[in-house]
Amino acid sequence: MVQLAPILLTLIAASYWWGLGHSQTFPSKETVQRWASKLDQTFYEITSGKGDLTNARGLQEAYKANLENVEINHADGKAIIEKLAADIGEHFRKNIEALKKLQQGAEAATEDYEYDEDLVLPRVNYVNMNDLKNASGQLEPSRHFGQDISRQQSGVHIPIEIYEGYPEILNGIRWTQALDSVFKENQKAFPDIYWQTFGSQDGYMRVFPTTRWRTFGDLPDLYDVRRRPWYIHGSVSPKDVVILLDTSGSMHGQSLDIMKLAAKTMMNTLGEDDFVNVAQFARNVSWVTPCLTSLVQANSRNKRLLFDGIDNLVDHQIANYSQALEFAYKAHEAFEQNRSRHDGAECHKLVMVFSDGGTEYPRAVIEKYSDPSKAITRDVRIFTYAVGPHPLPTVALKSMACSTGGSFSTIIAMGAIRTKIQGLGLVTTITLPVFNKSASSDNQTLAGVVGIDIPTTKFEEMTPFHKLGPNGYSFGINQNGFLVFHPFLWMNVNFLEEPTHIDMADVEGSSQDVDELREAMINQPAQAQMKEITNPMDLEDRYPLVGITKEYHYLTVGDSSFTSDDFCVGVVLDKGWNYAIIKDQDLSAIANLDPKSALIAPWRYCQENKVDIENTLETMKADIKAQKCSGEVVEHLAWDLKVAKSWFDRLSTDFLANRGILSQFVMTDGGLTLANPPDALDGYFQLRNPYNSSLFRKATLEPGTPVLHVTKFLVKEIVPVVQDTAVTDDQRFGKKRKPDRHKEVLTKIQPSTVHVAKAIQIESPSGLRYIPGIVGVELEHDFLQELLMNATEVEPESSELGCQNSTELICTLVDHEGNILGSNQPMVELGDFLGTIDPQLMKHLVEYENIFVENVETNYQALCPDAIDCSFGARSIFIPTLDSIFHLIRWIVSSLQSLGYVPLSLLSVPFLSETSDALSEYSFRMPEGMHRCSTNTSYWALNSKLVANDFHQRISGEECKECKRDYHLYTLENINSLLIVSEPQCANCHVPSYKDKPIEVDPAQESCNLPKRYRKRPSKCFSRHDQEIPECSAASLTSSSWLKIILALMPVVVATLLLI
């Protein structure tokens, strides 16, 4: 045994030294460069060489051989915008003409009608829209209105809190029956007109054509026309408003709740031309939202912040009216003296006081600031509201209103306000006020407002999209810079409060060029103008389009005989973009097309079709057979079928199964999508509109250059998943709770897909180049991973690590947006974001090497899940995550676009009082467990200013001093990808993940003030009238008819409150 000891020691030593000699080290720069070159060459061979998977050359030759009757033209942006503005202007002219007839007819009806005090319900015959049923036979389907309607007569809607048997309601219903003849005359004269409406000052509404009123679920129908922005806009002028809320000790319980609701209800009647702030007062006075220290524009985001402040109010101390009014007057003075040239209404100035009453009358303060020498405050009117059921003295409140030409009212009941909508899609409503012309009236009394809906899809339909190309579009903005319509404006899914306001700069990307363009459009040029913007932002993926120049052509739209406050429309196209006009094609190929063999974009192909937003293949076939289908769009589709489908059908599919390819595809500029094998066609349904496909747009930016593109879809499925999640209350209150186990509603995401595609390009005899479409393949999920592993393998005896060793080496292939295309890590999936998977590496690439650049987009009108209140005991709570909401909205938008409905604005323009979703105003509600919020979303892109294409560094930093990670990075030349090889992540170095999804902004850290941006005030202001009836001219306060016209605030608030 003693003799064996030296032998064993020798063997152990030999084994040790052998192990040291064969330990593998981190690969050298030269090794990784060789891997990158091999991978790059492989991509060249499969995308451009003999083994080109895309077959782009074959399709290109097929198009070159079929140029007969094909004319390639340069897109003339000036001509396009001039025609578009003229077409929209003509459409408004017709609708305005109809609107004026409706206004004249309504005023004539009031003049001829004799009021009947003894009128009772059985003597009034009318159609109650709430009582109509589809099965009743009274309604018939309408493609134009998108629902069942009746053109026989108009229908009436009466709010639930108003008894239809009241004499004033019955008389109103009776005299407005005369409008039916005007409704029908307008429908006959203008066949493409949409909903015509009369909204009464008493709360009822008459609509033509009539339809069944729809409510959401079991909720009561609490719609009131007087609360709708289109009604209010039609009856008021701009105003600067300071709201004072009494939070003294007597304002407790129900009174405080009523006041909060009433104040928020009143604020919802304010629009983007108004400026407002809210203060609380007791012994002292302060703004309810501390970071808003002056009047702010009454857009939906600012009102949300003020609503939050109102919700947090508590009662305490004793009210001091003098201090409160002094504060309000000084606020008006400070705002007027310090505001920018763009802020303020420059029309009305109001103070609105909500209180339960008191004995103090602040005479000295009112006289001081009403003195004629006080130029800013002398015309301030005070509106007072006695809130709650408590029998406190209200003489002081009445006197404040009387002495300043304001109004006084009482609000004694608690109310619930919900709105619903009926059916047309996104609309804008043009409005005019109707005055009572009866013999007993002073001609100042507002009888109501007439309105006509214009779907914003009409503006899109007038745009010659086939001339603008995949990166072109049209849009419109109003005098405040808010979007009226825009194809990349996401639909807001909250319809309870009001239309949101999205600024042009928030969508187009704020830059000096965009700001200059925005101001020029707001200033409403009389002649067509154009501005070039180089390296613009991609509006979907939010990265700069390096080397691309876009032309923005714009022109004012409006009818100066109706209003001087018009809006501006623009068209955008790539500089030098060319399009094809195809003539004399055989349309029988479309008529005989098997719907299982192709997809067509959701466009309007037949120019004869003036009703449908899109032609389905079935309707188009019928129109072709009836010889009712012609035009440039359908001719182009027929050309694509003749060329692309004939070529595509001849392609062999034998190699699909064994080359890692799931499908081949073709997408054409004419709207045709083809796929092999045939059962793969369904996977392209959401991509069938090429102009809404980021894959199509990205490929056409560099014709002939292959691109890898990751597509992420959302499946319509809600999956309850139990997770351990940290649940926190609203951090504004400084409260935090421990993690709680609860159910979270997650949207199930379909696995990402990856395509490699190339755009083909042909040239006309005159030298104009045109892109007929793109062609490519969908790759299996492990195809790119296999390419990565094959290119990075090492010999077994190598002293360097290879990517087969996933424990000691991380190898990643990512695209230029940071999406992972392939990895040797078993838990990493296609489409995962590098900043989430490896934040240590991402931090170094972003902050130290500047390889990836971040573009942060702030959404001030987002929806976020509510904090979970765990105080009611353990139970399962279902709330959606912000990430799932993000995907859900993306899916909704994608689905709408795939159906041809472009999500547009929920905003307003000066005489386009409201752009809203008519499908939603009466029938949708805020999702449970959701609230309005602001979110930041980071979009990442490869830095276009990089000089080097390879980086070799060691990761370290202040937060990870002990972490030493080597890495190599190479940018590939033949495909839009990076190869990154690095050591494993340091176990004790915790770096927060980088996100590529929306993150809710902590309200405590959110900047209250939006960027100061140029705006243009409305040119008209009706502040006072020589025949104005004083509010306190009678023994008791009566409602001033002129104030109803110019303000319409107090009645709106009172009418919305009902006892529950």
pLDDT tens by residue, 273-292 = 899 999 999 999 999 998 89
Segment holding 91, helix H or strand E: helix 77-112
Confidence check: pLDDT of 695 > 50: yes
Structure tokens at 367: 């006289």
Name which residue leads in pLDDT, 314 or 1010.
314
Residues 69, 75, 78, 81: is their CA dihedral positive or negative?
Answer: positive
CA pair distance 707, 972, nearest whole angstrom: 12
* Mean pLDDT calculated for residue range 402-408: 88
Structure tokens at 75: 């897109």
pLDDT band at 618, cuts 50/70/90? confident
* Mean pLDDT calculated for residue range 958-977: 85
CA pair distance 709, 696, nearest whole angstrom: 10
Judge whether 214 and 419 are in contact, CB under 8 Å.
no
pLDDT of res. 427? 44
Structure tokens at 607: 């120019």
Q: How far is CA 340 from the centre of its chain?
A: 28
What is 456-581's CATH superfamily? PAS domain (3.30.450.20)
List, for residues 72-114, the tens digit of each pLDDT value: 999 999 999 999 999 988 888 888 899 899 999 999 999 889 9
Confidence check: pLDDT of 13 > 90: no
CA pair distance 760, 765, nearest whole angstrom: 17
CA pair distance 667, 684, nearest whole angstrom: 10
Tokens 């040291």 belong to residue: 20
List, for residues 30-45, the tens digit of each pLDDT value: 999 999 999 999 999 8
pLDDT of res. 893? 38
Each residue of 280-293: b (16+ CB within 10 Å) or e?
bbbeebebbbeebe
CATH code at 236-418+1038-1056: 3.40.50.410
List, for residues 190-214, the tens digit of each pLDDT value: 888 888 989 888 888 899 999 888 7
Judge whether 97 and 193 are in contact, CB under 8 Å.
no
Can you give the residue ranges of every domain in the chain? 58-73+583-706+753-760, 85-228+426-451, 236-418+1038-1056, 456-581
Tokens 């009394």 belong to residue: 445
Q: Kindly give, in sequence order, each residue whose CB lies less than 8 Å from that of residue 1020, ignoring residues fewer than 6 positions away.
A: 237, 563, 564, 565
pLDDT of res. 879? 41
Give the residue ranges of DSSP H helices in 724-768. Answer: none
Poorest-pLDDT segment among 486-490, 886-890, 907-911 = 907-911
| Among 85, 606, 385, residue whose Cα is nearest residue 1054 | 385
Q: Which H, E and C letters describe 923-938, residue by residue? A: CCCCCCCEEEEEEEEE
Segment holding 329, helix H or strand E: helix 321-338
Q: Give Rg (Cα) of the chain.
A: 33
* Mean pLDDT calculated for residue range 371-390: 89
* Mean pLDDT calculated for residue range 379-383: 92
- State the chain's mean pLDDT as an integer: 77
To 10 degrees, what angle do helices 77-112 and 179-189 make?
160
CA pair distance 627, 635, nearest whole angstrom: 13
* Mean pLDDT calculated for residue range 174-189: 93
- Per-residue DSSP letter, 781: T
pLDDT band at 782, cuts 50/70/90? confident
Judge whether 435 and 443 are in contact, CB under 8 Å.
yes
Confidence check: pLDDT of 18 > 50: no
Judge whether 410 and 378 are in contact, CB under 8 Å.
no
List, for residues 236-273, the tens digit of each pLDDT value: 678 999 999 999 998 888 888 888 888 888 887 788 88
Structure tokens at 269: 């009647």
Name which residue leads in pLDDT, 314 or 451.
314
What percent of the chain clears pLDDT 70, i.e. is strictly above it?
A: 74
> How does strand 381-387 pair with strand 348-355?
parallel
CA pair distance 345, 368, nearest whole angstrom: 23
Structure tokens at 82: 């001039």
| Among 367, 361, 349, residue whose Cα is nearest residue 242 | 349
Q: Which H, E and C letters describe 153-184, residue by residue? A: CCEEECCCCCCCCCHHHHHHHHHHHHHHHHHH
CA pair distance 323, 329, nearest whole angstrom: 10
Name which residue leads in pLDDT, 585 or 727.
585
CA pair distance 412, 258, nearest whole angstrom: 8
| Among 87, 103, 100, 94, residue whose Cα is nearest residue 193 | 94
List, for residues 418-435, the tens digit of each pLDDT value: 222 222 233 456 666 777
Structure tokens at 983: 């050591």
Segment holding 263, helix H or strand E: helix 254-267
| Among 230, 95, 1013, 1019, residue whose Cα is nearest residue 565 | 1019
CA pair distance 868, 439, nearest whole angstrom: 60
The residues pairing with 568 across neighbouring beta strands, listed in sequence order, are 477, 556
CA pair distance 500, 506, nearest whole angstrom: 13
pLDDT of res. 616? 79
Alpha carbon distances (Å) from 90 to 93, 662, 916: 5, 50, 22
Judge whether 463 and 484 are in contact, CB under 8 Å.
no
List, for residues 853-869, the tens digit of each pLDDT value: 888 877 776 777 777 55
Please tell me whether residue 323 adopts helix, strand or coil conformation: helix
Segment holding 625, helix H or strand E: helix 617-625
pLDDT band at 889, cuts 50/70/90? very low
Structure tokens at 1008: 């209250």
Q: Is the peptide bond before 880 cis (omega within 30 degrees of 0)?
A: no
Segment holding 723, helix H or strand E: strand 714-725
List, for residues 1014-1037, the tens digit of each pLDDT value: 888 776 676 555 445 445 543 333
pLDDT band at 751, cuts 50/70/90? confident
Strands (E) in 217-260, as ranges, are 239-246
Structure tokens at 405: 């030409």
Give the residue ranges of DSSP H helices in 435-503. Answer: 457-461, 465-468
CA pair distance 452, 430, nearest whole angstrom: 6
> How does strand 348-355 pair with strand 296-297?
unpaired
Please tell me if the domain spanning 236-418+1038-1056 has the same topology as the one spanning 456-581. Answer: no
CA dihedral of 112, 116, 120, 123, whole degrees rounded to 10? -40
Confidence check: pLDDT of 117 > 70: yes
* Mean pLDDT calculated for residue range 677-696: 89
